Structure 1
Amino acid sequence: MSAQTVHANCLVVGTHGILVRGRSGSGKSELTDLLIEAAGVKGNLGVLVADDRVYLSSLDGQLLARAPETISGLMEVRGRGVVKTLSMAAAKIDLLVDLKPESAIERHPDSALGCEKMDGVPVPVCTCPENRPLESMRLIRWSLRELFPGVPDYI
């Protein structure tokens, strides 16, 4: 099992592992923090796995994510610095959130979810606008509802 490093964040809300990918300054950490907080407000698990860099590997047809040891339990809060936070060692990824410029996102796409192979594992993709965390959280909630019908909303 070899790991590849990606520029992304990873978190768990409820029972769902989410990988948040985007360019520098696209709002990955802000969205991650908001999702963790939203899960907690609803009385659900919301916890960081990794901020900024994530090791990905596949095992038995599942995509797994973990933090590099040097940044485990740390999150950047822009304007404040790097802070310690509750974290998990690893997570199975259920959804890739791809942050893109709003101009690159279709208003009415043919399919709400895309799919991307990561380390040979197909992963559902939800495309969200950069630096629009509330709008992104709404899109993520609807994506999770589509992927896991009948499962409670964790955010």
Structure 2
Amino acid sequence: MGMNVAAAGGSGDPEVLVDINTTPLIDVLLVLLIMLIITIPIQLHSVNMNMPVGTPPPPTTPPEVVRIDIDPAGTVLWNGEALADADALESRLTTVAALESPPELHVNPDKRVAYKSVATVMAAVQRKGLTKVGLIGAEQFL
């Protein structure tokens, strides 16, 4: 029969092991990994696409562009022609908005122009319901 022998220190208490046995945990994780690998469907390396059939649409002509420049003094230029005042801009925008296919508006403010002048032009464009608008010339601020 066995007999407990105390350590040389004489305390009499056996040492407690605080290590966690990770073998069952690793076994469970490996089983879960294998189950995951088995249940993943086989992926195809090709993509099936339903392409349209028929004749392609005819090439479209480039849209008409109206260039609205604003010089440092706040003068508005319509395709290079100076407009007298805000009413002249409003009448031009009204004419353009009434067209079946309105042109694109390219607003190009000078970098030294007051923000008020640019905001006035943009507000007039918005009031007329024109949506094809772009601010041109951001590269001048770089």
Is the structural similarity TM-score above 0.5?
no
Q: Please, what TM-score do these two structures have when normalized by structure 1?
A: 0.23
The structure with the largest helix share of the pair is 2
The structure with the largest strand share of the pair is 1
Q: Please, what TM-score do these two structures have when normalized by structure 2?
A: 0.25
